Amino acid sequence: MKRVLFIISLIFTGLSVKAQDGEYHVRIHGQENKGIVLDAPVSSIDSMYVNENGKLKVRTVNNLYSFDFTEVDSLTFPWVPTSSGDIVYINYNGTTAEVINPYPVTQVIVTVSEAKVSITSLSSSNITYVLSGTANPGRFAIESATTPTVILNGVSLTNPTGKAMDLTCNQGVILEIANGTTNSLSDGSESDKKAALMSNSDLLVQGNGTLSVTSFVKHPIKVKGICTINSGNFVITSDVEDVNGFSADSTLVINGGSFDITMNGDISKGIKCDDNLTINGGDFTIVAAGNTVLETVNNQNVPSYCTAIKCDNDIAINGGSFNITLPTTNHGGKSISADGNLTISGGTFVILTQGDGAAYTVSGNTKDSYTSSCLKSDGNMVISAGNFTLRSTGAGGKGITTEGTLVLGTTGGNNEDLVLDVTTTGNRITVSSGGGGPWGGGDYANPKAIKAQGLITVNSGTTTVSTTGTGGEGLESKTQINIEGGQHYFKCKDDCINSSGKIFFNGGVTVCFSNGNDAVDSNAGTAGAITIGNGVAFAYTTKGSPEEGFDCDNNNYIRITGTGIGISAGGSQGGGWPGGGGSGGTITNPAQGYKFYTNSYNFQAGRYYTLSNTNGAGGTNMVTFSFENNCNSTLALITATGMVSGQTYYVKYSTEAPTNPTTAFHGLYLGGTSSASEQAFNFQAQ
């Protein structure tokens, strides 16, 4: 024993001088693959000895460490150059870990058990930790009063019994994924923890390396504090039920990076935020494949969904690329869903939902349904810019749905700034059958391309909507619809545009073609139910009576308040329901001439019909319109800029579209030169 103490004393005598370009360290290596159990600069050690009980004692300025001498494998005294600076290196190697710690043990306390490294930093400095190598089982945990930087420099950790990485730092932590490196973290089936990567603090992520995270029990990544992601390439997978790929308890801000997320468990979420979520950029490829589960809450069944991006508060998306798929295994799931408001001002979105929705019993005889949707908010929704391709193929599926108001585009905005392409192909879901009413009754969950409970305002943008399933409506509001600008095309199995309140065409160009119901339908039941202001609306249905181009239950409710264009064609309701109206009608105080044309006329596809003030070739081309399919109309409304009551106007046709039109949009042509000369019919304006 005296010989051991003498040798240690000689070593310390030779190493005690601190050089300018570095310093010697003392490393105590444990036996049985326990790795380095202590790493400290020689200058930080006051004494080192073995006591009468066979304990190796290491006394520093403020601490006394004790090791069973029989468990110590060896002591080494490496030279640590000054170039290592303030960096702590953790190198994993299978079932061991080596820690190179340039700090005194009074500042950075390192505990190593096999390849499980725990660090407690008492330093007032923001220290950098660099992790590399592979370990299974392996773990990295840190507690710090300051803001450390943890650099993943090609590290792979698997912890079968808990978290692979655990970050607890009072002032937050910076997680850097070193450029060009591949890193991975995973928990295991025996884990009793809540994540593979857990940050109990604020987290800032940067770097352009790749981090793959897999969970077998709970969340792959969970952040309890504010989280900001500036960059990084994430590959996140989980087959576990009811977990979140990236779970944020507080505010989450994503400025960039790429996210390849696959969630196969029921109710699971790709990205889940409990507070506000802001996405300014990044590439997102998310597959949410899990099913919806009915949970019992207060003796009622409540559906819980598998969702790609879910926020319990507001979502703001200002940019980024989103490729989201909900396959057929996901019934009723949501792609992007906010419990609060959803605001989108940029980005590219390709979203596909394929699973069927379903009806279910809430409690007793109360029935309800759940359906998939591409974009959903429980608050208000604003989509001012972006490029959207939204597809919902399952029964009852929705493209866009909000419980609040919906605003599309910006006032006076460029139509190219917002490109919205929405398609639904699923049929409606029968929630309950029977009931009265003129159309047979029943309660259905219908597929909707765009739906809002509140006011819909369309300011600008280019919209293309297609629905093919029974009940498939294009644009629906339970309150009111104002179209102020933009170019919008609807081809729908059911109503193209439907509102429980009024519908205004105040600007823009709108074309509506329904092959199974009304083209435009207002149920306001009052004057101004459908209003032609300064906008252009071309609406027709090929279904035949009683479906109409413009249906507001009473043609007298229609108003013309501006110098826009309104062309409708379709069947007549005859006596009308419920308030009458007949086949024609009279519009009160119109701002320009109009005509309810009640003679039967078969508009043929392939012909271009021009409204003009003269018969035969030539004359003023007030508007030209063509039909995709033959339309046998018994009630048409025609009004156009410059029409004067009492004057005679002619509808002529040719097989050639006008040349050099100012607007050519889905069969509607404004301006240009028309070659139409064959008369279809004429009328005297009302």
| Structure confidence at residue 10 (pLDDT) | 45
The answer to which of 134-143, 297-306, 460-469 has the lowest mean pLDDT is: 297-306
| Sign of the CA dihedral running 48, 50, 56, 62 | negative
- The pLDDT confidence band at residue 3, using thresholds 50, 70 and 90, is very low
Q: Mean per-residue pLDDT for 74-97?
A: 78
CA distance 402 to 420: 16
DSSP string computed for 192-239: -SSEEEEESS-EEEE-SSEEEEEESSSEEEEESS-EEE-S-EEEEEE-
Q: Tell me the percentage of the chain whose pLDDT exceeds 90.
A: 76
Mean pLDDT for all residues in the chain: 90
Answer yes or no: is pLDDT of 155 > 90. Answer: yes
Per-residue confidence (pLDDT) for residue 576, from 0 to 100: 42
| The pLDDT value given to residue 35 | 57
pLDDT digits (tens, 9 = 90+) for 573-583: 644 444 434 45
Strands (E) located in 354-455:
358-363, 366-370, 373-377, 381-392, 398-402, 406-408, 418-424, 429-432, 443-445, 448-452
Query: Which amino acid type is present at position 390?
Result: L
Give the DSSP H/E element, type plus range, for residue 353: strand 342-353
Q: Give the per-residue pLDDT at 210.
A: 98
Contact between 61 and 45 under an 8 Å Cβ cutoff? The reply is: no
Q: What is the mean pLDDT of residues 575-594?
A: 71
Average pLDDT of the segment spanning 385-412: 97
CA distances in angstroms from 99 to 12, 187, 199, 315, listed in the order given: 21, 22, 22, 42
Q: How confident is the model at residue 104 (pLDDT cuts 50, 70, 90)?
A: confident
Token duo for residue 394: 């399952």
Answer whether 209's CB lies under 8 Å from 182's CB: yes
What pLDDT band is residue 631 in, cutting at 50, 70 and 90? Answer: very high
Closest CA to 676 of 624, 605, 602, 600: 624
Tally the C-alpha atoms within 13 A of residue 447's C-alpha that lie toward its C-beta: 32
Lowest-confidence region among 72-76, 201-205, 504-508: 72-76
Least confident of 305-314, 479-488, 565-574: 565-574
Identify the residue with better confidence: 417 or 7. Answer: 417
Query: Across-strand partners of 216?
Result: none
Q: Are 543 and 570 in contact (CB under 8 A)?
A: yes
* pLDDT attached to residue 42: 77
Predicted confidence (pLDDT) at residue 70 exceeds the cutoff of 60: yes
Which tops the pLDDT comparison, 78 or 539? 539
Q: Are 371 and 344 in contact (CB under 8 A)?
A: no
Before 303, cis peptide (omega within 30)?
Answer: no
Amino acid at the residue 17: V
Neighbours of 291 (CB within 10 A): 18
So what's the pLDDT on residue 572? 78
Question: Does pLDDT of 1 surpass 80?
Answer: no
Q: How far is CA 250 from CA 48, 314, 317, 418, in A?
A: 47, 12, 17, 31
Give the span between the Cα atoms of 397 and 658, in whole angstroms. Answer: 39
Tens of pLDDT, residue by residue over 464-517, are 999 999 999 999 999 999 999 999 999 999 999 999 999 999 999 999 999 999
Q: In this predicted model, what pLDDT tens digit does every residue of 608-620 receive, in sequence order?
A: 999 999 998 988 8
The per-residue pLDDT for range 160-184, each reduced to its tens digit, is 989 999 999 999 999 999 999 999 9
pLDDT in tens, 216-258: 989 999 999 999 999 999 999 999 999 999 999 999 999 999 9
Alpha carbon distance 632, 542 (integer Å) = 7
Segment 369-378, tens digit of pLDDT: 999 999 999 9
Amino acid letter, 251: T
3-class secondary-structure state, position 592? coil
Region 117-126: mean pLDDT is: 91
The yes-or-no verdict on residue 63 having pLDDT over 70 is no
What is the average pLDDT across 407-413?
96
d(CA 642, CA 592): 7
Angle at alpha carbon of residue 106, lines to 102 and 110, rounded to 5°? 60
Task: Using CB atoms within 10 Å of the CB of residue 412, give its burial: 0 to 12 exposed, 13 to 18 middle, 19+ buried.
Answer: exposed
Average pLDDT of span 403-431: 96
